[in-house]
Amino acid sequence: MQLGFVIDQSRCIGCHACTVACKSENDVPLGDFRTWVKYTEQGTFPEVDRSFTVLRCNQCTDAPCVEICPVTALDKRSDGIVDIDPDICIGCKGCLQACPYDALFLNEEKGTVQKCHFCAHRTEQGLAPACTVVCPTEALIPGDFHDPESRVSQMRDEFDLQVRKPEAGTNPNVFYRDVDSAGIDPSLTNAAGGYLWSNQRPGPQLESQIYEALAASMEEKALPESRTTYNVDRKPAWGTAISGYLWLKSIAGGAFIAGAPLLAPFADFWGHKPTAAATWLVPGLAFLALSATLVCLVADLKKPSRFLSIILRPNWNSWLAKGSYLLLGFHVLLALWLGMAYLERPPTGFFGVSLMVTTGVFGALSAMYTGWLFAQAKGRVLWMRRGLALHLFVQAVLAGSASLLLLDTLVPLGREAVEMLGSMLTAGLTGHLLFTLCEGQLAPLAREAEYKRASRLLTHGPYAKKHWVLGVGLGIALPLVMLFFPESTLLWPLAGLLALVGLAVEEDLLVRAGQALPIS
């Protein structure tokens, strides 16, 4: 069984009865929606055409929200409905980022995510969803797409129906008849002109729409033929806590990777005697940064008391769950290094090499896994860029070497160590610069046009000044100039500080710009 809808937009009159019935039936909070009606218009007065589009969860066959949920709170039921168990949800908001249709929202009062669940409590009693009961024109037709005798199956076979964002690969089960393309494809419309009888929510989505309208005007390019005159605006689900998590995780993984040559047993390979300072500083810095990373993760949960659910009932398809185990394993290994430093018994021989390699692998994967996590966020195409995991590894090398260079001013590591760290920072900055300059060419397959719009927000749009001045100029170019003069090692800690500031800016912009474009 696969329950779903055919929505006949040739019948829809935009009355919002479905929205009101849904809010009443499911006690949807003020300002949030499980289903809503989007208005788009074409033409100029007095010849204007207005179209309505009913938007909601698509009960996807390959639901990305189910895949990304770290605690199996979302489930694809045997009847095809994608539902959420509020008693399990931890409020991580990963599912909000995974949905290409903007169909989930966070109930701020309850701290859990909600969405259209096909009125499962009614369906189980043989009743139709509330929205279909009240629709005065019978524009909403529910049914089982696996039943060839059902009305929805017959309509799918008889008419040329469309779905939203087929390129996302989710296999949605909400089909549209006679729908205006701008209603289901947000790239074909613009909301910069304002809504009919409501105010748009201030924030990144409105700013991005205004930027695109101004850019088209200045470049003498035609604006989309359609304009959005009513829609539901969403506020960004992830913010400073996630930016901080990315930055701190880069330092944690990179500190051990960059500092590994300063520790036994690898130090012997290049003729360097491990110092007591390095024995403490390298694992200690990584441990503290990783601890702060976990604090950021837990702080961003709306149900932090349920954090252990990620460990106790993980969804092994989710990189949120896999990443949590990687961070936990990395934490344990770093604690072991600190314990051996306290006992003044550095690891040697085969055990030492094995421990070094294992810790390094955990450090690298801890830095990189967010790239694979972001690839599961199918609603945020900027984060799906190819090679992001490798870019995060390069950023970790940058962050780790920069942090150790900076700490060398407080706890001297020796000239040889400083020179090695300077070389690593140079390599990290160079790799970071190459990835940054090539980002426009790293679009995920089948979603190039959407990626180009999102990427342009960074390079030319509202985030461009911070990106080029702080992220690239101050955070990459200037440190590289400082590192170019090996005799001026006194400037290297400053180069490390600037590199860390620039990296923090870039990772924050990635999080914010990725959520700036409207996706419904």
Across 368-380, average pLDDT: 98
Closest CA to 405 of 509, 500, 502: 500
pLDDT classification of 387: cutoffs 50, 70, 90: very high
Strands 74-76 and 47-56: unpaired
- pLDDT, tens digit (0-9, with 9 covering 90-100), for 123-135: 999 999 999 999 9
* Bond into 46 cis (ω within 30): yes
- Residue 190 phi, psi (nearest 5): -140, 140
Does the pLDDT of residue 267 top 80, yes or no? Answer: no
- Tally of CA atoms within 13 A in the half-sphere of 61 that contains its CB: 13
Strands 35-44 and 189-190: unpaired
Alpha carbon distance 433, 173 (integer Å): 42
Instruction: Give the per-residue pLDDT at 409.
Output: 92
Does the pLDDT of residue 195 top 80, yes or no? Answer: yes
Closest CA to 256 of 304, 315, 327, 318: 327
Tokens 């018994």 correspond to 345
pLDDT classification of 346: cutoffs 50, 70, 90: confident
Amino acid at 236: P
Instruction: Give the per-residue pLDDT at 268.
Output: 64
Across 66-93, average pLDDT: 98
Instruction: Give the per-residue pLDDT at 224.
Output: 86
Angle made by CA atoms 176, 180, 181, in degrees to the nearest 5: 90
- pLDDT, tens digit (0-9, with 9 covering 90-100), for 136-192: 999 999 999 999 999 999 999 999 999 999 999 999 999 999 999 999 999 999 999
Does the pLDDT of residue 292 top 70, yes or no? Answer: yes
Instruction: Give the per-residue pLDDT at 269.
Output: 65
Strands 3-8 and 174-177: parallel
Does the pLDDT of residue 454 top 90, yes or no? Answer: yes
Using only the alpha carbons of the chain, give its radius of gyration: 26
306 within 8 A of 298, measured Cβ to Cβ: no
- What is 3-189's CATH number, 3.30.2320.50, 3.40.50.11060, 3.30.70.20, 3.40.190.10? 3.30.70.20
pLDDT classification of 217: cutoffs 50, 70, 90: confident
Alpha carbon distance 505, 465 (integer Å): 11
Exposed, middle or buried, 202 (CB in 10 Å: 0-12/13-18/19+)?
Answer: exposed
- Range(s) of the chain covered by CATH 3.30.70.20: 3-189
- Range(s) of the chain covered by CATH 1.20.1630.10: 240-514
Alpha carbon distance 375, 380 (integer Å): 9
pLDDT classification of 272: cutoffs 50, 70, 90: low
* DSSP run (H or E) holding 177: strand 174-177
Does the pLDDT of residue 401 top 90, yes or no? Answer: yes
Does the pLDDT of residue 488 top 70, yes or no? Answer: no
Does the pLDDT of residue 237 top 70, yes or no? Answer: yes
The b/e string for 13-39 (b: 16+ C-beta within 10 A; e otherwise) is ebebbbbebbbebbebeeebbbbbbbb
Closest CA to 439 of 427, 450, 451: 451
Does the pLDDT of residue 197 top 90, yes or no? Answer: no
Instruction: Give the per-residue pLDDT at 416.
Output: 85
Exposed, middle or buried, 227 (CB in 10 Å: 0-12/13-18/19+)?
Answer: buried
Does the pLDDT of residue 270 top 80, yes or no? Answer: no
Exposed, middle or buried, 42 (CB in 10 Å: 0-12/13-18/19+)?
Answer: middle
Instruction: Give the per-residue pLDDT at 449.
Output: 95
Instruction: Give the per-residue pLDDT at 66.
Output: 98
Does the pLDDT of residue 223 top 90, yes or no? Answer: no
Alpha carbon distance 517, 520 (integer Å): 9
DSSP code per residue over 208-255: HHHHHHHHHHHTTPPPPSEEEEE------S--HHHHHHHHHHHHHHHH
pLDDT classification of 347: cutoffs 50, 70, 90: confident
- What is 240-514's CATH number, 1.10.630.10, 3.30.390.50, 3.40.50.300, 1.20.1630.10? 1.20.1630.10
Instruction: Give the per-residue pLDDT at 271.
Output: 63
Q: Which of 24-38, 87-101, 196-210, 268-282 shows the lowest per-residue confidence on average (mean pLDDT)?
A: 268-282
Q: Which of 14-23, 347-356, 372-381 shows the lowest per-residue confidence on average (mean pLDDT)?
A: 347-356
